Amino acid sequence: MEARYNLKSPAVKRLMKEAAELKDPTDHYHAQPLEDNLFEWHFTVRGPPDSDFDGGIYHGRIVLPPEYPMKPPSIILLTANGRFEVGKKICLSISGHHPETWQPSWSIRTALLAIIGFMPTKGEGAIGSLDYTPEERRALAKKSQDFCCEMCGTSMKTALLPLTSGSVSSQADKEAKELARQISFKAEVNSSRRSDAGPSNTSGLNHSAASREPQQDGAARAFPDPASATSEAQSSSAAAAQEHPPAVSSSSTSLSPRQRRAQQQSQRRAPASADFNRAQQPRGNTNHTGSTVLIVLLTFALAALIFRRICLANEYVFEL
Amino acid sequence: MAAEEPQQPQPEPLAGSDADGVNCLAYDEAIMAQQDRIQQEIAVQNPLVSERLELAELYKEYAEDDHVYQEKIKDLLQKYSYIRKTRPDGNCFYRAFGFAHLEALLEDGQELQRFKEVSARSKEELVAQGFTEFTIEDFHNTLMELIERVERRVPLPELLAAFNEPATSDYLVVYLRLLTSGCLQRHRRFFEQFLEGGRSIKEFCQQEVEPMCKESDHIHIIALARALHVSILVEYMDRGEGGATNPHVFPEGSQPRVCLLYRPGHYDILYK
Summarised one tens digit per residue, pLDDT across range A139-175 is 888 888 888 888 787 887 777 777 776 555 667 777 7
Q: What tens digit of pLDDT does each residue of B230-253 get? A: 999 999 998 888 888 999 999 988
| Per-residue model confidence (pLDDT) at position A178 | 72
Partnered with residue A70 across adjacent β-strands are none
* pTM, two decimal places: 0.70
Q: Do A247 and B18 touch (CB under 8 A)?
A: yes
- Is the peptide bond between A69 and the residue preceding it cis, with omega within 30 degrees of 0? yes
Contact flag B7-A280 (C-beta cutoff 8 Å): yes
pLDDT in tens, B103-116: 999 999 999 999 99
**B-side interface with A, Cβ within 8 Å?**
1, 4, 7-8, 11, 14-15, 17-19, 21-22, 24-29, 31-32, 131-132, 134-136, 138-139, 167, 170-171, 174, 178, 206-207, 210-212
Chain B interface mutation, best of A68, A74, A101, A103, highest count of B Cβ atoms under 10 Å = A103
Average pLDDT over residues A237-249: 42
| A186 contacts B28? CB cut-off 8 A | yes
Non-local (6+) Cβ contacts of B53 within 8 A are B82, B83, B84, B85
Per the CB < 8 A criterion, the answer to whether B203 and B210 are in contact is no
β-strand partners of B236 = B246, B262
Name the residue facing A189 among B14, B25, B134 (closest C-beta). Answer: B25
A56 Cβ contact partners less than 8 Å away, ≥ 6 residues apart:
A46, A47, A79, A81, A137, A140, A141, A142, A144, A145
pLDDT at site B169: 94
> Is A125 in contact with B136 (Cβ distance < 8 A)?
no
Count of beta carbons in the 10 Å neighbourhood of residue B90: 18
Burial (CB count within 10 angstroms: exposed 0-12, middle 13-18, buried 19+), residue A86: buried
Looking at residue A96, the DSSP 8-state letter turns out to be: T
Distance separating alpha carbons of residues A24 and A44, to the nearest angstrom:
12
Residue of A nearest to B35 (CA): A94
Contact B211 A96 (CB under 8 A): no
Determine contact, residues A61/A75, Cβ cutoff 8 Å.
yes
Q: How far is Cα B139 from Cα B147, in angstroms, rounded to an integer?
A: 13
Q: Does residue B88 carry a pLDDT above 80?
A: yes
- For residue A174, report the phi and psi dihedrals to the nearest 5 degrees: -65, -45
Find the mean pLDDT for residues A236-258: 46
Count CA within 13 A, CB hemisphere, residue B189.
0
Element (H, E) at B52: strand B49-54
| pLDDT at A203 > cutoff 50 | no
Q: How many CB pairs below 8 A link A and B?
A: 102
* pLDDT value at residue A50: 83
C-alpha B183/C-alpha B229 separation (Å) is 11
Neighbours of A243 (CB within 10 A): 20
CA B120 to CA B271: how far, in whole Å? 28
Q: Is B248 helix (H, G, I), strand (E, B) or coil?
A: strand
Q: Which helix (H) or strand (E) holds B260?
A: strand B258-263
Residues A174-183 have pLDDT tens digits of 777 777 666 6
Residue in chain A nearest B131 by alpha carbon: A105
Q: Higher model confidence: residue B134 or residue B41?
A: B134
How close is the nearest chain A Cα to the Cα of B49, in Å?
A: 19
Interface test with chain B among A92, A250, A255, by most B beta carbons within 10 Å: A250
* Helix, coil or strand: residue B38: helix
- Whether A199 shows a pLDDT value over 80: the answer reads no
Is the ipTM above a cut-off of 0.85?
no
**Residue B155: pLDDT above 80?**
yes
For chain A, list the strands marked E by DSSP: 29-34, 37-46, 57-63, 74-77, 89-92, 185-187
Q: Indicate whether A271 pLDDT > 80.
A: no
Q: Which residues of A touch B (CB under 8 A)?
A: 10, 13-14, 17-18, 21, 69-70, 93-96, 99-107, 109, 125-127, 182, 186, 189, 191, 194, 197, 201, 204-206, 246-248, 250-251, 272, 276, 279-280
- Catalytic residue list of A: 91
